[in-house]
Amino acid sequence: MARITLSNLAHSYRPDPVSDADWALKELNLEWDDGGAYALLGPSGCGKTTLLNIISGLLTPTHGSVHFGDEDVTQLPTEKRHIAQVFQFPVVYDTMTVYDNLAFPLRNRHVDEATVRAKVAEIAEMTDLTSMLDRRASGLTADGKQKISLGRGLVRTDVNAILFDEPLTVIDPHLKFQLRSKLKELHNRIANTMIYVTHDQTEALTFADKVVVMNVGEVVQIGTPEELFETPQHVFVGHFIGSPGMNVIPCDVKDGAAFIDGVRVATANEADAAVTKGELGVRPEFVTFSDDGLEAKVVKVSDAGRFSIVETVCHGKPVKLVAPEGAPIPSETTRIAFKPDNTRIYVDGWLAGARGAA
């Protein structure tokens, strides 16, 4: 196991990158603790796989370095990095038994058979494969096969990190929940450094202690699930995480304070005195009906089980709020207020006063 340090790392698939758009991965610096559970989260094309491939050694970065502990591994091939990988689609030997599949990475490294037996038994138990050890892998369902892939990733004791690239893609939706929690439990038991790539916020937030949120080749925030929810550093994070995502409402800014149509809105932060335009970020959970609030019109109410999602138009701007089950919902014209501690000013997308805080 090792701490992973990425320094001034950037990658372009073009031989002569010029503009910002030429970089699949814009320059980043990251440090991942030994034994941590991390997720790389972002929409398709944001650079997650590029970053994962640089860590595993499938790709050499255009510039910057990758260190495992004190060792610079930037130029080392994958097989010398001691990395285990679990991909989107199961990688199993169909003609082998489940036991032999799990044993394969160990036998390949000339581990003695007694240790192989003990280790395979331990991993099979963790991945619920014990009753299938004698079966041929070809007879298993897609999720059974993916459990073998997971098991093969976990069976080695000599790895610096285990990398997961969207490992639940082939799993039936009703089994996803089960495997998601299984992975978290496995991390708690194995305590190896694990990096999990996904575009699914639920997978990232369930699995990771810290989530790295990426957008168009850039890391926009690294934080615990709570930090990402409570204090998005960028409107992208606010919008991408949460369901529904954060309201992002254009506003005027004067002397650092936010105004909507001349009405002052209390916020947790202030903008720079020179700023005149910004956006208010407030999650629907922190918007309430209030006689002292801004005028708004209810345009749609959707029942989401324990709560309702209420869509309003407030001074011409769409604003959503979450109303608890059974709470009275005005039928049309009303007033809404934003909880000041959870309402923030963003300028050019970034939390005012925190550019680069990611």
Ligand X SMILES: Nc1ncnc2c1ncn2[C@@H]1O[C@H](COP(=O)(O)OP(=O)(O)OP(=O)(O)O)[C@@H](O)[C@H]1O
Q: Given the rule CB under 6 A, which residues bind ligand X?
A: 13, 24, 42, 44-50, 199
Closest to ligand X by CB, 48 or 147: 48
d(CA 102, CA 117): 10
- Minimum distance from residue 187 beta carbon to ligand X (Å): 22
- C-alpha dist (Å) from residue 59 to 52, 56, 175, 215: 9, 8, 33, 20
Closest to ligand X by CB, 42 or 245: 42
- Minimum distance from residue 217 beta carbon to ligand X (Å): 7
Closest to ligand X by CB, 45 or 244: 45
Closest to ligand X by CB, 53 or 267: 53
Closest to ligand X by CB, 47 or 232: 47
Beta-bridge partner residues of 161: 83
Residue 170: which residues within 8 A CB-CB, separation 6 or more? 88, 89, 90, 142, 143, 146
- Minimum distance from residue 145 beta carbon to ligand X (Å): 21
Closest to ligand X by CB, 45 or 242: 45
- Minimum distance from residue 273 beta carbon to ligand X (Å): 38
CA neighbours closer than 13 Å in the CB half-sphere of residue 267: 30
- Minimum distance from residue 50 beta carbon to ligand X (Å): 3
308 burial level (CB within 10 Å; 0-12, 13-18, 19+): middle
d(CA 164, CA 150): 9
Task: Name the token pair of 82.
Answer: 């001691």
Closest to ligand X by CB, 15 or 326: 15
d(CA 110, CA 89): 27
- Minimum distance from residue 154 beta carbon to ligand X (Å): 23
d(CA 205, CA 202): 5
- Minimum distance from residue 49 beta carbon to ligand X (Å): 3
Residue 302, phi then psi, degrees to nearest 5: -115, 130
Q: Could you tell me which of 178, 166, 163, 159 has the C-alpha nearest to residue 204? A: 166
Q: Could you tell me which of 185, 155, 187, 181 has the C-alpha nearest to residue 168? A: 181
d(CA 277, CA 251): 6
Task: Name the token pair of 89.
Answer: 């689609």
d(CA 304, CA 309): 7
- Minimum distance from residue 91 beta carbon to ligand X (Å): 17
What does the DSSP 8-state code read for residue 54? H
Closest to ligand X by CB, 45 or 330: 45
Closest to ligand X by CB, 6 or 155: 6
Dihedral of CA atoms 347, 348, 351, 353 in degrees, nearest 10, equals: -60
Tell me how far apart the terminal alpha carbons of the chain are, to the nearest angstrom. 26
- Minimum distance from residue 85 beta carbon to ligand X (Å): 14
